A and B are shown apart, each in its own frame.
Chain A
Amino acid sequence: MAVQTEVPAEGRTDVSPGAHLIDPIAVAIRTRRPEEPSLERFSATDPSRGLDVARHPLVAKILHDRKLQFLLILPNQIIFWLVIGIGLLGTVIPGLNFATAITWYLWFALVFVMMVVVGRAWCAMCPFGGFGEWVQRHAFWKRKDSSIGLGLKMPEQVAQYGFLISVGAFLLLTWIEEFFNIAGPGNPASTSFMVLGIVGSALVFFLVFERRTFCRYVCPLTALIGTVGTMGSVAGFRTRDREVCQSCETKDCMRGDADGYGCPWYTWPGSSDSNSACGLCTECYKACPSDNVGLFVQKPLTSVVAPSRRRADVAWSIALLFGLVVYQQLNALTVFTNFDTWLNNHTFFPHYPDPISYLGIIVAVAVVLAGFAWVFEKSFARADYTPALSGRSFVDRTSTFRAYFLPLMYGIIPVVGADYFARQLPKFFQHLPRVPVAVGHLFGFGSTHSSLYNASLISSNGGIIAVQVGVMAAGTLAAMWTSWRIAGRDLAPVGGNKRVVQISAASFALAIGVATAVLYVLMNAAD
């Protein structure tokens, strides 16, 4: 990359053909040579060249089209503005109202499917961020050179906590949803207000901060998708040749050029080792001047196992998100209802969910998981183990505890993903047929008396439980495999016999998988 030029000895400039076209600036740039990453740094996460779907001319043409993301967002945009309007103005019967039916019976389940199968597919078509982005860019799809808003950066004091901000937003939103029984589903207007709240918050963030700061840090779903989505089979937009990216003199994929915006998600294809922060927006693909960005698919779970950089915010997010889904399992049990009522009476809180029990259980689960990591540390860590020097912020601080906690949490991602997915299934199976009824109701068809309205995909609790346990079994097996692989690579070097550590990690995944599966049996298909 560094270009060194010699001064002509005779002091004359080169007058050879084409010499006048040599840009004197370019030949005087003497940038330092970039440092080479270690060979193994990205090798485990680099998808195979053959898995680049953007090599197909038709796919390439579609991805190059600036209207692509607009067309992905538009249908969802229409649906969710209908949700807002119909939720406020339509029937108050939740099952018959388009807003509640589409949101809670279909959308939420679909988001989880997309998350597990693809990764951030929803982010590519999300109407909430999409709306904010349209306003921020004052364009639906065109590349504009200016933007609306203050364009601030997320301060590092906040940004260092990464996904944990989003986890906080998700916990808050879920508590509000539980408190007002929005997803019950309760009053359809509540769903409208919730969606309006998300759109409004997103818009404010898009106008105050630059790029997709909202989506990267604040969106209630971004932590969940960024963690569970790593199970997905789409690796995202990655470099085709890292050397080309490293020696690129413009980094248009990050800064933007006439063809595409700089990555709204603060992700560089040249160093991306996971699909966690790739919003699949195609901007880097469009902007790359060297056609060196591809859209890669990968084997499921690759982005869980392969990354060598384990982030503390991701690990704690997994622990807390697991706490939340366990809470949502526990709250279907009579024993919890009694406990929550007792707590409300003693804390003068009006009704379920009591914030103390809510946060208490979530934190307790996370602490228990951390406790397991502590046990691992005490059981296996070599006495002479010294963590790598690092630690400038929360994200990358190192310690022996983190050396165990982070990989273990990554390992159980499939259990957490399966748990969230299984938790949505009762509503999906019991009420999905209400969606066409709710749509028909808008046009004067369909009522609560229609057979479809009262139909179910799976009517028996036993059937639903069987599917839930099956999902958990699949998730647990996947988690045992990822834990095994991660333990072999990341935990064994810290101490202990490799096989023992692997067996312990897989057993840990098995234990929490079994525990959650048992909870589904106890819940008896409650939604």
Chain B
Amino acid sequence: MSDSIDTAAVAAPVPTGQSGTVVRSTVMRRLLRNPLGIASLVILGSIALLAIFAPVLAPFEENFANITKTLAPADSVNILGTDSAGRDTWSRLLFGAQLTLLSALLCAGVAIAIGLPAGLIAGYYAGKFEAVSNWVVSILMSLPGLIVLLTIRAAFGPSVWISMIAFGVLISPSYFRLTRTAVQSVRNELYVDAARVSGLSDLSIIARHIFSVVRAPIIIQTAAIAGVAIAIQSGLEFLGLGDPTKATWGVMLSEGFKNVYMTPTLLLWPALAMALTIGGLVLLGNAIRDALEDGEKIKHRKKKTVPAESTTADPAKAGQSRKSVAAVEVGTEHHLIKVTNLGVGYPQADGSVKKVVDDVSFHVDRGEILGIVGESGSGKSQTAFSILGLLPDNARIVGGSIQFDGNYTVAPGDDRVSQERLSKLRGKRISYIPQEPMSNLDPAFTIGYQLVTPMVRVLGISKAEARKRALKLLTDVGIVNPERTFEAYPHEVSGGMAQRVLIAGAISCEPDLVIADEPTTALDVTVQADVLDLLRELQQRLNIGVILVTHNFGVVADLCDRVAVMQNGRLVEEGTVRDILRNPKEQYTQTLLGSMLEGKTPMTMLVSRPGSAAQKEPVA
């Protein structure tokens, strides 16, 4: 599987061998570069400072009441006014912050103390412990928090701490599930296996390899849970079920609501304090998440700002652009497909365009099979998808043209594939065979449905007629019991059979051109041979043109008439299959063929001089 069709990987390739040292704490740095991250840190930091120094900063005791001055507006003594008992709003707000933050910390602490170890154990060892904890979790998660807290209040009386411990227990499943999922995803990672082979103890493996995976998600989760804890604790106090001797935002909100007809501003301050604190936590969580997800992701561009710098396109041709659909060059109409100087690129965050296909030209005629060969990152799949018009949304055509049967699908100067023109061709005249058989069938629909629908839509035939044709097609692709496969769901058939189904789908509407993207790479060798036989037989019988994208020269030799070799987005060499495989002119092609194992003397060096196999891996 040298070339995955994962286009995201092509768009944002792994940086190879860059110079410079590893930036540690990149997450923290990215967090500080994000305005929202800074804002949230500033907000939360100020609130925390106010809370810590509340006894110093507050002009009055939290319950000091001046009954001669109730519901007073703001003045120089009571900077936010007083409530109905004559207590200072600003002072109560500060003490409320103290209690609120402490209770949120307590709740998150309890939840982590329960959820994290349980999640680690359940994820790493699975078995009975996991089954039991899953059951407990499903119960805890089906209990509404506030109702449980009411029950706890009825049982234990009003106490912020007891209710927050209880809520911590109740919400611990969120940590449990987070940790368990993360651990499960790395438990079977090969690097954990490698550590096991090295004899690392389970404890060291968890500490070294697994804990590092859950650390960041735990921080994000804690921000969210602290917010929820504040909301629910204040809600309880708002209902008058909190500790009446304590100044809290919930009590203040309820006090404000009681006096809403007289001094509505009393409502505003506690509500603002809550919104700021919870909002700060939410923003912080989001900012950390953004910082973790690679900052180098390409920003989504709006449709209007398309900068696609015109690049290698021939200026003469670029001149013809914009004229809606120009006529193709005279004398080339007879080619089934003709790609001329094609360039495909991805706009980057910094405004530049990263080219993945550059100046590629080739053509395919009816009844002909062209192989496009190359290693991963050579741009061969991107070329195929631009013919199909199935490039990712953020891809741009940065040069050249594509014409199909005498008409442009990408005219010179176009910066995107015209979906309007291609939607008339796709499925009907151009079709596609993907690489991974299983992930390319919708698991929720039967195989029959997925074969019949395109025929009904594209050919306009009746369902019954389409069903008949689908069964015939399944027989044609060598499926022994077509009725059973027709009724089956994708998960009920093998990979080889699923690939046959996909081939049947590709030829169902009698296309002129089939684009097969590594159609046998995911299959076992013996199955591959059968599928190659099938492809050859169908191609000859239907006289269709085929573009076969592959990394395997054996597959090329088996099927293709002509070959195009690609490297780093460029077309290196093109010619008939015999010329290229026997007398490659370009050095790259020679190297590739020289790497083939067939016909080599076993136990000898392939590309290195003896004794120098440890030569440096060239940077791709």
> Do the two chains belong together in a single complex?
no
Which residues of B come within 8 Å of A, CB atoms?
none
